[in-house]
Structure 1
Amino acid sequence: MAWKLLFCRSAVVALALFAWAGASYAQADEARARQIIGGSCFLCHGPDGEAASEGFPRLAAQNAEYIAKQLENFKSGKRKSSAMSSMVANLSSDDMAALGRFYASRPAHQEAAQDPQLALAGQTLYQSGNQQSGVPACASCHGKDAAGNAALPRLAGQHAGYLQAQLKQFNQRERTNDNAVMHAVVEKMTAAEMAAVSQYLSGK
């Protein structure tokens, strides 16, 4: 009986130590991310990834793995950006992962679409696509809630101007680091459709 009691106490101690170690790691991880953000990222993306300007993406609530991948791509040159290449030049893979986890933990920003009527047209395109032109439903990859996954970005709540700019880059083959499916999809979209779906997602 005594050995069972000793075993139980040892298990409790081990679990407590494991929980403490996990909490300590999480705190150190967040501190590391905040230090990097405070040095440069906040200038464009805000301290919590809220990005006030439409010229920069909101990173709050974005998928951690997706953020880390984009940072790696900026560093390798696979994704082109003169501004970002210098920002990530000294970041390690661990730094990028820490930044991804930090931004993923921040609350998403929600605000109404600036053009509700255009957003309504964008909603139809996002959910059902355009059968006449062959544009598939965006929801088939990015999900009905536009939350994405580890490989695909969260689109819900993103700036309309930023989303529209990225769609144009895919269309013109200026952005080639992500899923080639995007090229096949966007080449079938009109400028009006890009604006509409971007407006819808900004208010989602």
Structure 2
Amino acid sequence: MSFLMRRATYLLTCVLLLGATSANAQGMRPGQGMGRGMGQGAGGGQGAAWANLSAFVPGDAKLGKAVAEQTCAACHGVDGNSIAAVFPKLAGQKESYLVRQLTNFSTNARQNDLMNPIAHQLDPDSLRNVAAWYATQTIKPANDGDSKLIAAGRRVFEAGDISQHNPPCTHCHLANPPPGPGALAPLLAGQFSGYLQAQLLQLRSGQRSHALMMPMMAARLSDAQIEAVAAYISQLH
């Protein structure tokens, strides 16, 4: 494939990622017309995920602390800073994202032998409240990746990979991303590198298929790129 063709494909991917901006300007719901192939949320396609986000009802963080202490602390810590990479850090994560993932676990839309039965026990109010609690906490960066890989990981995160038509991760995974799919994307800064690697590998293999556009993006990442970008993200804060 010629350089110009690769460049055009790369730019088209970027346009698709940011296309919700023009959709908003035309009075369309973000994600409308993109189809199910862009990824699935708790209720189906990306359009359903946007609908769920627009109907999002915040929880009560004070009530959520008790849920965290009783149900979540053993793995994720009361403050959302777990001590083992097998359990993701939840501190400071978007409340709406946590609600969506807990809902996915409770309905088995996202499969995990440990989380599915736990999420089944949470009623909707408890689910929203514990998400609100963890969203108010402050993440302590894991910084557990190979320091030799940080420079390479930064290039992937900030510049993407034009040869594989992958846009920068910053299009979606910043605290304040541009309008578009980033509103649905999780915050990644400070997460365990091992956890990030595991999730990217699951997305690449298709084991996680409900995560909007990420299966397509992860499929274009090499093992080396996954390890490097995870190392870089783990030391961000």
TM-score when normalising by structure 1: 0.80
**Equivalent residues of 1:64, 1:150 under 8 A apart:** no
Which residue of 39, 45, 57 corresponds with 2:70?
39
1:30 aligns with 2:73: no
1:124 aligns with 2:141: no
Give the C-alpha shift of residue 143 in structure 1.
2.8
**Equivalent residues of 1:61, 1:108 under 8 A apart:** yes
Q: Cα distance 1:189–1:144, how it changes in 2: closer, same or farther (>3 A)?
A: farther
1:153 aligned residue: 186
Higher CA-based Rg: 1
**Equivalent residues of 1:112, 1:202 under 8 A apart:** yes
SS at match of 1:82: coil
Which residue of 137, 156, 162 corresponds with 2:168?
137
Give the C-alpha shift of residue 29 in structure 1.
2.8
Q: Cα distance 1:188–1:114, how it changes in 2: closer, same or farther (>3 A)?
A: closer
Cα distance in 2 between the residues matched to 1:188 and 1:114: 21
Partner amino acid, structure 1, of 2:96: E
**Equivalent residues of 1:127, 1:144 under 8 A apart:** no
2:231 aligned residue: 199
SS at match of 2:164: coil
Cα distance in 1 between the residues matched to 2:175 and 2:154: 10
Partner amino acid, structure 2, of 1:153: P
2:108 aligned residue: 77
2:217 aligned residue: 185
1:6 aligned residue: none
Which residue of 179, 198, 204 corresponds with 1:165?
198
Structure 1 residues 38-61: Cα deviation after superposition (integer angstroms, max 9, x where no partner): 222111101110011000100000
Give the C-alpha shift of residue 176 in structure 1.
1.7
**Equivalent residues of 1:65, 1:150 under 8 A apart:** no
Cα distance in 1 between the residues matched to 2:167 and 2:232: 16
TM-score when normalising by structure 2: 0.69
Give the C-alpha shift of residue 182 in structure 1.
0.9
Cα distance in 1 between the residues matched to 2:154 and 2:147: 10
1:108 aligned residue: 139
Q: Cα distance 1:114–1:168, how it changes in 2: closer, same or farther (>3 A)?
A: closer
Q: Cα distance 1:114–1:172, how it changes in 2: closer, same or farther (>3 A)?
A: closer
**Equivalent residues of 2:88, 2:192 under 8 A apart:** yes
SS at match of 1:157: coil
Cα distance in 2 between the residues matched to 1:94 and 1:54: 28
Give the C-alpha shift of residue 151 in structure 1.
1.4
**Equivalent residues of 1:63, 1:154 under 8 A apart:** yes
Cα distance in 1 between the residues matched to 2:111 and 2:132: 23
Question: Identity across aligned pairs (percent)?
Answer: 30
Give the C-alpha shift of residue 112 in structure 1.
3.8
Structure 1 residues 135-186: Cα deviation after superposition (integer angstroms, max 9, x where no partner): 221111213888x96511010000000000000010111112220x111111
| Structure 2 unaligned spans of 5+ | 1-57
Q: Quote the RMSD (CA, aligned, Å).
A: 2.1
Q: Cα distance 1:195–1:29, how it changes in 2: closer, same or farther (>3 A)?
A: same
Cα distance in 2 between the residues matched to 1:97 and 1:47: 16
Cα distance in 1 between the residues matched to 2:175 and 2:72: 30
SS at match of 1:142: coil
